Amino acid sequence: MGERRREVRKRTVVRFPGVRHRYVVECRKIGFSTEKAAAAALSQVERRVARGLGDAFGRSPPASAYSCGTCGGWHLTSRVETGTGRTPVWLVRAGVPEGEVARARRRGARLVAGREREIAEFVDAYLRQHSRGPRWSEVRARFAWRSDAQTMSALVWLGLNGWILFTPAERSLRPGPRWTAPR
């Protein structure tokens, strides 16, 4: 009989220093007691990913938080929209008004028009070349959007659909979880 080998995949334990969290047995996920704690953990994830340390999260790092009906706590998810109809936590922290999110859902797809990959590639290339994200005005000029409102709608739509991420900080544009660099 042939020798059977069992390959053991190394499992990385994700920790969130300074944020109270626990493993929830009934959900089989890491749980947070409040939305604020989940937002703090999500902020740590974004910083790790921006520094290139997102390998612990696999191909899709967490992009938003949602309230769990099973345990009553909060969990992180790689899905950008949680299906609750609410604005994702990271967009709220980025200072995007609720009205702009609604407008982006209506107009964003038309403005981007199948160029999602091209825009994410531009953001990634800029980040690699300059070690910081592009300004929104640089993205606007590159893709010939006519106004700041159009630029915001397009970038928020790309964020809602996982192509890019950003924070309130200047030059914080980063490729999102749906972007995979060409090999």
pLDDT top residue among 35 and 9: 35
Please report the pLDDT score of residue 148 as a whole number: 87
User: Which of these ranges, 34-43, 73-82, 140-149, has the smallest mean pLDDT?
Assistant: 73-82
pLDDT the model gives residue 73 = 83
DSSP string, 106-142: HHHHHHHTT-HHHHHHHHHHHHHHHSSPPPHHHHHHH
Under DSSP, is residue 64 helix (H, G, I), strand (E, B) or coil? strand
Is-contact 176 163, C-beta < 8 A?
A: yes
Lowest pLDDT segment from 90-94, 125-129, 174-178: 90-94
Helix, strand, or coil here: 67?
A: strand
Strand ranges, E, within the chain: 22-24, 29-31, 64-67, 74-77, 164-165, 174-175
pLDDT score, position 11: 46
* Confidence tier at 121 by pLDDT (50, 70, 90): very high
How high is the mean pLDDT of the chain? Answer: 78
Is pLDDT above 50 for 84?
Answer: no
pLDDT in tens, 85-107: 556 666 766 777 767 777 787 78
* The predicted structure's pLDDT at residue 36: 84
pLDDT of 1: 46
Q: 163 and 111 in contact (C-beta within 8 Å)?
A: no
Give ∠ CA 136-140-145 in degrees, rounded to 5: 140
Computed from CA positions of residues 92, 40, 67, 57, in that sequence, does the dihedral angle turn out positive or negative? positive
pLDDT at 153: 87
Exposed/middle/buried for residue 110 (C-beta within 10 Å: 0-12, 13-18, 19+): exposed
Which domains, from first to last, does the chain contain? 17-86 (no CATH), 94-183 (1.10.10.10)
pLDDT at 149: 85
- Given a cut of 80, is residue 12 above it in pLDDT? no
Place of tokens 């109809």: 85
